């Protein structure tokens, strides 16, 4: 997989992280440097780690499905993309009654935002990608977008938070279509 596609995937996956970080950044808890670093490091670690775990699971079954793996990759990316779009369209705003950058709340947010990365990691196994580079890029992009999200959360969160999930979902579906078209041509 080329670096541009990998960057698009990483940014798409980090849209959930960005949206959550915007929300936390706009809350009373998001103003400290410690909160920003704690959230960014957790999100980056979970995004990169879940991508690797998905790839690990996918490599165990890749030989059995080599003839139609591009359709599976498309299906997984489209599923995740559609889920992100639906989430972005849903107008229910999450409030943060407790500090979301601590304890189990942070772990749960990290897992919830990285489940998509697990599915993407599975699809990367079918594409025979370099998983170490992919996991690293996905993790680093998540860290950066988390930091940007918390910093700009106060001003941008209420305007762009949900739209960013929609954009991320559209990008994932587009990448899935590109995989199928590339394989078929």
Global pTM reads 0.72
End-to-end CA distance of the chain: 16
Which pLDDT score, from 0 to 100, does residue 42 have?
96
Which pLDDT score, from 0 to 100, does residue 95 have?
42
Which pLDDT score, from 0 to 100, does residue 82 have?
85
154-159 LR contacts (CB < 8 Å, sep 24+): 154/25, 154/26, 154/30, 156/22, 157/22, 157/23, 157/25, 157/26, 158/26
- Sequence spans of domains, the chain: 3-184
Task: State the Cα–Cα distance between residues 98 and 104, nearest whole angstrom.
Answer: 11
pLDDT truncated to tens, each residue of the chain (185 aa)? 788 989 999 999 998 888 778 777 776 676 788 889 999 999 999 999 999 999 998 878 766 766 776 787 788 778 877 876 887 787 564 444 567 778 888 888 888 888 888 888 988 887 878 999 999 999 999 999 999 988 887 665 556 656 766 776 787 788 788 878 887 88
């Amino acid at each position: 997989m080329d670096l541009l596609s990998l960057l698009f995937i990483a940014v798409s996956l980090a849209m959930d992280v960005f949206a959550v970080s915007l929300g936390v950044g706009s809350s009373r808890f998001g103003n400290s440097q410690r909160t920003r670093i704690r959230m960014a490091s957790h999100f980056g670690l979970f995004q990169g780690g879940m991508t690797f775990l998905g790839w690990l699971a996918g490599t165990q079954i890749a030989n059995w499905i080599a003839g139609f793996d591009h359709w599976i990759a498309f299906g997984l990316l489209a599923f995740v993309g559609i889920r992100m779009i639906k989430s972005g369209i849903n107008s229910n705003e999450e409030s943060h009654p407790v500090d979301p950058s601590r304890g189990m709340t942070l772990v749960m947010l990290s897992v919830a935002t990285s489940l998509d990365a697990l599915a993407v990691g599975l699809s990367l196994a079918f594409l025979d990608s370099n998983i170490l580079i992919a996991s690293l890029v996905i993790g680093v992009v998540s860290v950066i977008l988390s930091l940007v999200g918390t910093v700009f959360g106060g001003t941008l969160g209420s305007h762009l938070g949900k739209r960013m999930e929609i954009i991320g979902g559209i990008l994932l579906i587009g990448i899935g279509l590109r995989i199928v078209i590339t394989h078929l041509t």
